[in-house]
C-alpha cells in the first residue's frame, strides 16, 4: 500500500514539474535572440538519457505492471524521507526559475540582454537547478522501491551533470569574465560553501 502511495506521489511531483515549473518557462523564452549558442551534437543524447532515467522509465513503472519484477522490499521510512526530498527539489527548481527570470535557457546558450544572476538562491550556489535535479534523483531512489528504476535517476543524471557543467561554466567565464570568476570563488556548484 505504501509503495503505491510513494509511486503516486512521485508521479504527481513529476507532472507538477512538467506542467507548472518547466512548460511556462520554456514557452516564455521562445523566440529570444541568442548572443551565443554552444549546443553541441552530444547535448541531445545526454538530455535524452536524463529524460529516460528520471521521467520516462519511472512513468512506465508507476503506470504499468511491466517493471514490477524488479521491486524490492525497502523500509517504509526511506519512502517517507523521499517525500520532503522531492518537495525540496520542486521548491528549489521554482525558486531558481523565479530568481533567473528571463535569463534561463534550457541549453548552453546566452540570450541577448542576459545578465549574471547572483541573488536569491544563486547567492549560495551557482547551479541550483542542477542541485534540484540531484535532489530529484535521490528522491526517486527513496520513493521508487525498484532496483532498476529507483537508482536510475542518479545513474542517468550524473553523467549529464559531469558532462554539461564544465562546458556551461566555461561559457559563463568567457562571457562574464572576472565577474563570473569572483562569483565562482564565493559559491559552490550545487552545495553552498560553508563560512562564506
- Of 95-104, 106-115, 167-176, the one with minimum mean pLDDT is 106-115
- What is the percent of the chain where pLDDT is above 70? 98
3.40.50.150, 3.40.50.2000, 3.10.20.580, 1.20.120.1630: CATH of 2-186: 1.20.120.1630
SS3 content of the chain, % helix, strand, coil (to 5): 70, 5, 25
Flag whether pLDDT at 34 surpasses 80. no
For residue 119, how far is the Cα from the chain centroid? 19
177 sits in the region (left: phi over 0; alpha: psi -120 to 50; else beta) called left
Flag whether pLDDT at 196 surpasses 60. no
Tell me the range of 33-37, 112-116, 123-127 where mean pLDDT is highest: 123-127
Residue 78 is predicted with a pLDDT of 96
Question: What is the DSSP code (8-state) at residue 193?
Answer: P
Domain residue limits, the chain? 2-186
Question: What is the DSSP code (8-state) at residue 41?
Answer: T
Residue 109 is predicted with a pLDDT of 87
Flag whether pLDDT at 124 surpasses 90. yes
Residue 101 and residue 168: Cα distance in Å, rounded? 18
Q: What is the mean predicted confidence (pLDDT) over 133-141? A: 98
Amino acid at each position: 500500500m505504501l509503495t503505491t502511495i510513494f509511486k503516486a506521489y512521485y508521479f504527481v511531483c513529476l507532472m507538477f514539474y512538467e506542467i507548472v515549473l518547466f512548460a511556462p518557462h520554456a514557452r516564455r523564452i521562445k523566440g529570444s535572440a541568442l548572443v551565443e549558442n554552444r549546443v553541441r551534437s552530444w547535448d541531445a543524447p545526454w538530455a535524452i538519457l536524463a529524460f529516460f532515467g528520471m521521467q520516462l522509465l519511472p512513468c512506465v513503472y508507476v503506470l504499468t505492471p511491466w517493471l514490477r519484477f524488479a521491486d524490492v522490499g525497502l523500509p517504509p521510512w526511506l519512502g517517507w524521507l523521499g517525500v520532503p526530498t522531492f518537495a525540496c527539489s520542486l521548491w528549489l527548481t521554482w525558486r531558481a526559475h523565479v530568481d533567473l527570470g528571463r535569463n534561463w535557457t534550457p541549453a548552453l546558450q546566452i540570450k541577448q540582454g542576459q545578465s549574471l544572476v547572483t541573488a536569491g538562491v544563486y547567492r549560495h550556489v551557482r547551479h541550483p537547478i542542477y542541485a534540484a535535479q540531484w535532489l530529484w534523483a535521490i528522491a526517486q531512489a527513496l520513493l521508487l522501491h525498484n532496483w532498476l528504476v529507483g537508482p536510475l535517476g542518479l545513474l542517468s543524471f550524473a553523467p549529464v551533470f559531469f558532462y554539461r557543467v564544465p562546458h556551461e561554466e566555461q561559457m559563463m567565464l568567457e562571457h562574464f569574465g572576472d565577474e563570473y570568476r569572483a562569483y565562482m570563488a564565493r559559491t559552490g556548484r550545487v552545495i553552498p560553501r560553508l563560512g562564506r
